[in-house]
Amino acid sequence: GDSVTQMEGPVTLSEEAFLTINCTYTATGYPSLFWYVQYPGEGLQLLLKATKADDKGSNKGFEATYRKETTSFHLEKGSVQVSDSAVYFCALREIYNQGGKLIFGQGTELSVKP
Amino acid sequence: EAQVTQNPRYLITVTGKKLTVTCSQNMNHEYMSWYRQDPGLGLRQIYYSMNVEVTDKGDVPEGYKVSRKEKRNFPLILESPSPNQTSLYFCASSFGRLDSPLHFGNGTRLTVT
């Protein structure tokens, strides 16, 4: 079945450092790919999305490119801030997926120190 | 503002006392779903609804009921809660095309003693 694998956390960075969180997926069809962010005590917010191969999603300085050849959707940010501290989830969803559920990775906790 | 609203945010109850967690969306979404989030187990789908009067089981439906009488509302019902239903619950909605993004509510933290 479909699955998503993320790099394990926690990830600790200094402010203004470069961020990469790796995400790879397996899917039977042609999924849409998403990054969600969960701040402490809050729900999941959609950070960015890409619906087909070679699409680049971007938002708030974060970027991820849908790479079909490597089945990857790595999250990057050039300069992180303390306010980026949160848990980040990579996820996929596809039309033929029973129940229309989002398939999530296990989440990567990011901690940014001043 | 486009949003998914869940209530209550926090709930402490006792075993066997029926409860309902409400969920409402104002985006005219056809699809709605409930998830629970547990440490080490991630997010798991409980029930989903493709449209009004159309509901189906997700991965962990035991002990839960849902209904979809109106497009905007999708309540989660625990008829006889048990301690293993202590969890963080999220309602989510999307347009009917199943590769579109899900929009989540802020969550309901339920404790069953």
In the structure encoding, which two tokens stand for residue A47, read together? 């950070």
Which residue type is seen at A114? P
Lowest-pLDDT range, A51-55, A99-103, B3-7? Answer: A99-103
A chain contacts of residue B45, beta-carbon cutoff 8 Å? 99, 101-102
Predicted pLDDT at A87: 96
C-alpha to C-alpha distance for B47 and B55, rounded to whole angstroms: 7
CA distance B48 to chain A (A): 7
Helix (H, G, I), strand (E, B) or coil at A67: strand
In this structure, is the dihedral angle defined by the CA atoms of residues B26, A44, A79 and A19, taken in order, positive or negative?
negative
Give the confidence band of A4 by pLDDT, cuts at 50, 70, 90.
very high
- Strand bridging mode A62-65 / A108-113: unpaired
Q: Are B105 and B5 in contact (CB under 8 A)?
A: yes
Strand pairing partners for A86? A110
Do A100 and B33 count as a contact with CB atoms less than 8 A apart? yes
Which residues are within 8 A (CB) of B1 and not within 5 positions of it... i.e. 6 or more apart? none
Average pLDDT, chain A: 93
Find out whether A57 and A64 touch, Cβ atoms under 8 Å: yes
Q: What pLDDT, on the 0 to 100 scale, is given for residue A9?
A: 83
